[in-house]
Amino acid sequence: MATKGSDERVRERVRKSLSSPRSQISLTIGPATAWLLLFVLLPMLFLVAVSFTTTDQYFNIIWEPTLANYEDLLFRNGLAFWEAPFVKSLYLSYAIAGATTVTTLIVSFPVAYLLARRSGPFVKVTLFMLLVPFFSVFIVRMYAWLKIFGNNGAANNVLLNLGIVSAPLGVFDYGLIPTIVALTHAFVPYMLLTLYASLDGVDFSLVEAARDLGAGRITAFKDVVVPLISSGVITGSIFVFVPALGAYLAPQFLARGQFLMIGQMIVERVYTGYSIGYGSTMAMFIAIAVVITIAILYRISGLNEFVQQ
Amino acid sequence: MSEDVMPKDRSASRTTRRTFLKSTGVAGAIGVTGVSGCLQNLGGTGNATINVLGWATFENVWDKIEEKVDADLELSTVTSTEPMFTQWNSGQNTEFDVTMPNNNYMPKFIDADLVAPLQKDVVTNWDNIYDRYKELAETQAGKDGTIYGVPQRFGWDTYAYDSREVPDHEEDLSMMFNEEYSGSIGSFTQHTKAIGHAALALGYQDAFEGRRVTLSDEQLNNVKEKLIDQSDHVAAYYAAPSQIKEMFTGGDIHLGHSYRFVTAQLKMEGNDWIEMAVPKQGALTWFEAAVVSKESDNKEKAWEVVDAIIDPEVVGEWLAESGFASTNSQTAASLEGDKGQYIDVDPSRVESMIPYKEIENEDAWVSAWEEVRT
């Protein structure tokens, strides 16, 4: 009996301690906060600290604050800001990530719309079929694109063998287009699933109501559907844009070194010269650029108000 | 039933057995602990254990080396020299006995006081190394008259060409800038190689003399401009051997930088049309220098491993199949038939090779190369 009484007391104590607001907060957001602190915030702080350092000839970090990396990145050898290799690479990375985001949106939207309007096994089977290719390893998919593109790749060979073209098409040659195609293919699921989740919540009777009141198809879509799914579009775009901005494998495989995206530039710096400080500075710029982009997107879409509500 | 009521003799018997087992266990543990200090460098076979941080390709020949030196070899593999240096320099030189960096990294190893002086009496194959590589060992793998590394494999880089598309010509590095082959030229993506070759093409051979490669600001700027002009005609920049093979065999390039072993492998695979140029400016050569850690507890055995690495009987066939050249001048002769044809390097050719070296102003090289690439 005595044991039972003490068990009760322990239980009561645990219940009490768990019911306090502080305990509840600790238990719910505590693990996530600890995770973020350990694996996001601390590494970021380390990145910031290292970006203000240089390395000696033995690749050891010299812990003396310096702006040398920043100066060299932005104003190298008297070059104008916009002519600095890093800035040019940043523009290019933005352009490629932007183009990838737009193409994933264009590819994903009709499919997501169709799936949202249908129901039953069709949706499940179609979604599964669409996602099956993404169960394969990323690098394997890049190898597949490598074989498809190129002057002597599968795409050109098929066209040549069918007699449709008499010489390999330059559009299939390695470079910008294959990189964007491969990145689009890689990131379509992020956009598709986000858009589908967003469209699935749309009450399409509102579109019918708008049509009944005289709105055309485009007007009804623009004024009814788009505002309802804008948060999904923005979220999907962020999911695609951010990883595309720092892409490494796709341009490494498919650009054949004809241009350098930021991710490649960081790898080359760190790999060949072990310039950890320099690489950290470049990574800092990517992080800042991403935060600014997301802030602008949120501002444009009015999503911040939506979040506040 | 409690033990109190058990027959005394039986209880005693059980106690005795337990005591015996316990005693045996304790004695065994004490014994193992006591001799563990003596055994710490011995593997399961009773041989010394030599830990090697080496190239992944050595996995193919590791059993033979192990057999030759009669030691347990533990091979940890890497695919570039940088981790060899960074790992050793961060304290792991106490965990490894041998590593094999590229020649341009040897000064770093020596200056950082990571490596032990060569024991020529143990490395009996030293005498058979090409004189040129002995000289290079003194200048690049040595300091103040002391040699620290043994050149083992070597190769050289220059341009290769598809003889079906590029006719016989005077072999000259300026071919890499020939607009006639625009769109079918391939280039190395490493700044050391791309800038190095362009500098040679521009006649800056003097920059390669001395312990480090030193291009003046003006020379580097000229090289950069030359490479920027070239970039309009380059179909691909590459580093991986597989990429070079793929680009040549796929017809994507007809002329481009190549490693000698890649060209040899292409020939072995039946691509007779591939030719490795012998440019008048010379070729840039690399070699791997096998070194022993200053902290090794088994230095002599470690040098025996190094000796095996350059022993024709151990590595000859493997080198012949992989297309790498051996610094041991006896390797080709040790192979039967025409097996040694890709190892048999004309000594006069070896003499004319220009070694890769540490770069004096490497940051400027990297910056210039980034300007070319962007």
Residue-range domains of chain B with CATH: 49-154+286-345 (3.40.190.10), 155-284+357-373 (3.40.190.10)
Q: What was the pLDDT predicted at B45? A: 53
If you average pLDDT over each of A23-37, A271-285, B219-233, B336-350, which comes out highest?
Answer: B219-233
Question: Nearest by CB to B362, which of A72, A268, A273?
Answer: A273
The shortest C-alpha distance from B263 to chain A (Å) reads 20
Kindly report the nearest CA distance between residue A25 and chain B, in angstroms: 42
CB-CB under 8 Å, B85 with A272: no
On chain B, the residues whose CB falls within 8 A of the CB of A269 are 366
Using CA atoms, how far residue B114 sits from A271, B120, B225, in Å, is: 21, 19, 39
The CA distance from B222 to the nearest CA of chain A, in Å, is 15
Chain B residues touching A257 at Cβ < 8 A? 187, 189, 236-238, 373
Cα A85–A89–A94 angle (5° rounding)? 150
- Over chain B (374 residues), the average pLDDT of each successive run of 10 is 34 40 46 42 63 89 89 90 91 93 92 95 94 90 94 93 94 95 94 95 92 92 96 93 92 94 93 93 92 95 95 89 88 79 74 87 89 90
**Residues in chain B within 8 Å Cβ distance of A272:** 190-192, 366
Position with higher pLDDT, B12 vs A9? A9
Q: Kindly list the structural domains of chain A, giving each domain's residue range(s) and its CATH number in brackets, ordered by start.
A: 80-308 (1.10.3720.10)
**Range scoring the smallest mean pLDDT among A229-238, A290-299, B311-320:** A290-299
* pLDDT value at residue B11: 35
List the single residue in A with minimal CA-CA distance to B360: A57
Cβ B236–A92 below 8 Å, yes or no?
Answer: no
Which residues of A lie closer than 8 Å to B, measured between beta carbons? 57-60, 72, 76-77, 79, 85-86, 88-89, 92, 150-152, 174, 256-260, 265, 268-269, 271-275
CA distance B371 to chain A (A): 5
CB contact under 8 Å between A257 and B373, yes or no, is yes
In percent, the amount of chain A with pLDDT more than 70 equals 95
Residues on chain A touching B80 (C-beta within 8 angstroms)? 271
pLDDT of A127 over the 90 cut: no
pLDDT digit string, tens, across residues A139-198:
999 999 999 998 888 999 999 999 999 988 988 989 999 999 999 999 999 999 999 999
